[in-house]
Structure 1
Amino acid sequence: WGAGRTLRAEVLRKLLLRPAVDGEVGALRVTGARIAGALNLQYAAVEHPIRLMACHFENVPVLYGARVRQVNLSNSFLPGLSAATVRVDGVLRLTDCRIPGQIRLGGARLSGAFFLERARLGREGVQEEVLHLNHSVIDDDVWGPDVVAHGEIRLNGASVTGRVNLDGAGVRNPGGRALDAENLTVGSDVIATRARFEGEVSFRGATIPGLLVFTEARLSDPDGCALRATSAAIGEVWLREARVDGPVNALRGRFGLLHVTPSALGGEVWLDGLTYGSLTPRLPAKARIAMLERDAEGYVPHAYEQLAAAYRQAGDDRAARNVQLAKQRRYRSTRPWYARMWGYLQDVTVGYGFRPMWAAAWLAGLLTVGTAVFGLHHPEPLKAGEHPPFNALFYTLDLLLPIIDFGQEKAFKTAGGQQWLAYSLIITGWVLATTIAAGVTRTLSRQ
């Protein structure tokens, strides 16, 4: 950077502040220069497009409150950028820039896109905010594929008409937030395919009508919250072949589609209030239920109901019943011991009403035993000569079924071991009837 390649920032400022001549607006184009001093355009109205490419800035350029047509600083080195509340009538381009300090664009308004692909932001080992876009309005895309940031990227309350593209990005802020996109509003998608985030990624309260894509991405914050999407409204969330090392908080989130495998989530989950229309890929209920059991809040009824609804929506009623059964078993574990006893009885007999064939199996087994025992040794009649012919099958049914009366039980009496068997069949019949009624009632009320 000899004297022949050095420009004073003051000279550039004077050139940029010159008014247009006869309506003709010229652009300032400089490539490969060292900018000495501070380029201060605070509150300035610059009519000329700015193109300072592959330049080295000694000081932080200041565009605070300025209004400019277009800014292209591609391939340049900047100690930082102070441009809060700036108004750019075109695009702001920081492609391939190296910026070890902070980029302040809070409250900025860009009519075009914001480009920072392959930019290198922040310094290793320094944990601070490297990109501040809070409450900014961008009428196009935020385009940052392969950006590398050592520090926090903030999009809190920002509005992006197009999409946010962080494909292949690497953001490191261990112990803090890597990406703060709380209350972000996006017109289409947020793409972070193959991205790497060390630190919390937060989309709390965000509105993304299209896709939130973390395909093949890695999110890591074991001691904090790796992914937060509380109260977010998102069209589709894709975690295909992704890995999230740390807790996931999706309380009260609203997703149209959720694509995630339980193995992708390596920590606790918060799922109360989360709703989703479809759940992919299609997996057995057992695999999904295991994820619900990792909920940090313990037994969360809504999570089971939502999962069952997703299976019913997909036409898999059997999986939905398995989820409902798992819900009852998990609820049973929270009850006192005496309540758990009744729960175990309902579970063993009829699977809380979700396994009606179990009741039929119990009935068939008891009916077989009773028929065999009473068929070998007929009970004595109560009144000789005033009784119907004895039928071991219908006598056993009389004992088992509390309501139906075949006239056998009233005509014959048992004694000894047969009497105890009769008592057992009567009690078992009432238990089966009660548990079946409870299960049917639960099923009907759910539907």
Structure 2
Amino acid sequence: MEITDLTPAEARVWDAFPRGEGVDFRESPDEPSGDGAAWGPERTVRADVLRALLLSVPPQEDRVAGLKLYGAKIVGKLDLKYAVVDHPIRLRACWFERKPMMYGAQMRAVVLSDSTLPGLTAATLRVDVVLRLSGCTVDGPVRLAGARITGGLFLQNAVVRRGSLPDEADEAPLQLNHAEIATDVIADGLTVHGEFRLNGAGVGGQVMLDRARLLNPGGIALHAETLSVGTDLRGHRLQAQGMVNLTGARIPGQLILSRSRLSNPDGVALRASSCVIGEFWLRKAVAPIDGIVNLRRSQVDLLWAEPEVWPPVVRTDGLTYRVLHPHLPAEERLPLLEREEDGYLPYGYEQLAACYRTVGDETAARTVQLAKLRRHRSTQPRHSRAWGALQDGTVGYGFRPLRAAAWLLALLLTGTVAYALDPPRPLKPGEAPDFNPLFYTIDLLLPIIDFGQEAAFAPSGWHQWLSYVLIVTGWILATTTAAGISRSLRRQ
């Protein structure tokens, strides 16, 4: 293209490029780019002119060339497919008639902040420094699948909507699947009307989605399967309509969904199965999660969640965690284990008990173990349930030893008083020892103790029935206590 073909607006840009100087067409620094379709020729620049600048114009001596443009109306298609561009591109607050094409290109830096675009095609793009789409309004798919960005990706307060073309109707509006970002993805305040696709991506630093709005009711709001981050995934005050899918994600730092609102009432709202997470924060949720939560087979070092955050159905089979916060009585944590849709799963109880032992709360751990046995009893045949109910009522399956002591004391007092008022007759008069109602009752109650009283005296009438009750009760208490001690020793 010859210089004589340029309009006055394009000539300004052409002259400024070799020196790396900026051209600002805006009437005010805060002028929005959404009205760019109505801008006149005085601020209109053809995309072919920008392409020619980037690919053919050399820099001025001792200067760093660069495209730095504010508030321009860019008409035509900025086609940089497979291009190698050594100059930084800064097109701030611009309005694009057609979606830029950067597929397979190699760039130094690309800044499109506060611009309005019908989409962006930049799959497998290579950027050495930074890609900025902060504050952009994009009415079509942003295709960054497989991109490689040595610096960071910035999407703060951007708005991305579905495309209006027929072939874009079912396409995810924001595509970062299998992208590699060396530092951070900063997307606080981002709004996506449709699926935000991040599966298979690798981020060297953190992914920040604080105050983001991911709106895809009935579908997938955040698709981040096998996502790998270097530090954290932050979603403080995140609003997600649709499933948040983090299956297989690796987050060594913190997964923060505090004060968030997750909603997918007809399906799974949060799927974080088979994940490895350092700290998982669900604290102070705005409302309970609306939809199923799937945490199966995940490994979490610290899980911070109040009981009221959980929905009616939670899948926790194989979930491993070391510490639960806040530290609450076991009675407040146990209802979560009853929300497993597959019914009774002993592993969940063992995991919760182990968590309480980790922090030294043996009382809570015993409460969990007792709840596990009670839940297990409900799944057994009637005769097994009867024996279990007997163990539960007498010694709490061995987890309530003081209950056995109370039973023994009550029976001991009953027998002692009864036999003191009406002593049984001796079997061999003149040879029997002096009768002692206390030790006679102990002989009946405790099968492994023999003070010689039981063998020397024979009760009659209702005292004989009382002796039978004491003998049978003693054996039951001894058996259930031994079973409880055996379980405790196995756990030790």
Give the TM-score taking structure 1 as reference length.
0.98
Distance 1:124 1:357 in 2: 69
Deviations 1:361-394 (A, max 9, x none): 1101111111111111111110110100001111
Alpha-carbon distance change, 124 to 34 in structure 1, aligned in 2, over 3 angstroms: closer
CA distance, structure 2, for counterparts of residue 107 and residue 124 of structure 1:
20
2:227 equivalent to 1:213: no
Q: 2:366 aligns with which of 321, 325, 342?
A: 321
Structure 2 counterpart of 1:295: 340
Q: Distance in 1 between matches of 2:312 and 2:292?
A: 5
Secondary structure at the counterpart of residue 440 of structure 2: helix
**Of residues 40, 51, 61 in structure 2, which corresponds to 1:13?**
51
The letter for the 1-side match of 2:456 is A
Q: Deviations over 1:415-435 (max 9, x none)?
A: 111111111111111111110
Which of 387, 390, 407 aligns to 2:435? It is: 390
Sequence identity percentage: 56
The answer to whether residue 60 in structure 2 is matched with residue 60 in structure 1 is no
C-alpha displacement at 1:225, in angstroms? 1.0
Asked if residue 4 in structure 1 is aligned to residue 56 in structure 2, the reply is no
Report if aligned partners of 2:162, 2:173 keep a CA contact under 8 Å in 1: no
The corresponding residue for 2:391 is 346
Q: 1:11 is matched by which residue type in structure 2?
A: V
How far has the Cα of 1:127 moved from its partner? 6.8
What SS does structure 2 have at the residue aligned with 1:182?
coil
Q: Is the 8 A contact 2:101 2:122 kept in 1?
A: yes
Contact 2:248 2:276 in 1 (8 A): yes
2:136 maps to which of 97, 107, 113? 97
Shift of residue 53 of structure 1? 1.1
Q: Check the 8 A contact 1:246/1:265 in 2, yes or no.
A: no
1:257 aligns with 2:302: yes
Structure with larger Rg: 2
Report if aligned partners of 1:131, 1:154 keep a CA contact under 8 Å in 2. yes
1:123 shift after superposition:
4.7
Displacement, 1:266? Answer: 2.2
Distance 2:312 2:120 in 1: 38
1:127–1:173: 8 Å Cα contact kept in structure 2?
A: no
The equivalent residue for 1:39 is 78
Query: Partners of 2:325 and 2:316 in 1: how far apart?
Result: 16
Per-residue deviation, 1:35: 1.3
Residues 162 and 171 in structure 2, CA contact (< 8 A), matched pair in contact too:
no
Q: Is the 8 A contact 2:75 2:97 kept in 1?
A: yes
Gaps of 5+ in 1: none
**Residue 419 in structure 1 maps to residue 457 in structure 2:** no
Q: Distance in 1 between matches of 2:67 and 2:227?
A: 34
Amino acid in the other structure paired with 2:160: L
- AA matched with 2:143: R
Q: Spell out the pairing of 1:194-213 with structure 2 (5 A cutoff).
A: 194-213=237-256
CA displacement at 1:95 relative to structure 2: 0.8
Cα displacement (A) at 1:24:
5.7
Moved more, 120-129 or 8-17: 120-129
For 1:282 and 1:161, locate their aligned partners in 2 and report how far apart those are by CA, in whole Å: 33
Aligned mate of 1:115, from 139, 143, 154? 154
Q: How does 1:63-212 map to 2 (within 5 A)?
A: 63-123=102-162, 128-212=171-255
Q: Tell me the secondary structure at the aligned position of residue 410 of structure 1.
A: coil
Q: Distance in 2 between matches of 1:332 and 1:175?
A: 39
SS of residue paired to 1:375: helix
SS of aligned partner of 2:117: coil
- Asked if the contact 1:25–1:47 (Cα under 8 Å) also holds between the matched residues in 2, the reply is no
Deviation per residue, 1:179-208 (Å, 9 max, x gap): 111111111111111111111111111111
Structure 1 Cα separation of the partners of residues 418 and 86 of structure 2: 104
Q: 2:385 and 2:403 mapped to 1: Cα distance?
A: 19
Distance 2:491 2:312 in 1: 31
Number of corresponding residues = 447
* Of 36, 48, 52, the match for 2:87: 48
Q: CA deviation at 1:267?
A: 2.9
More moved, 22-31 vs 296-305: 22-31
Report the more deviating stretch, 11-20 or 143-152. Answer: 11-20
Query: Quick check: 2:158–2:190 contact (8 Å CA) kept in 1?
Result: yes
- 1:190, 1:96 → 2: CA distance? 21
Q: Deviation per CA, 1:337-360, whole angstroms, max 9, x where unpaired?
A: 111001101100110110011110
Distance in 1 of aligned mates of 2:381 and 2:119: 62
Q: TM-score, with normalisation over the residues of structure 2?
A: 0.89
* Paired residue type of 1:227: L
How far 1:23 sits from its partner (Å)? 8.5
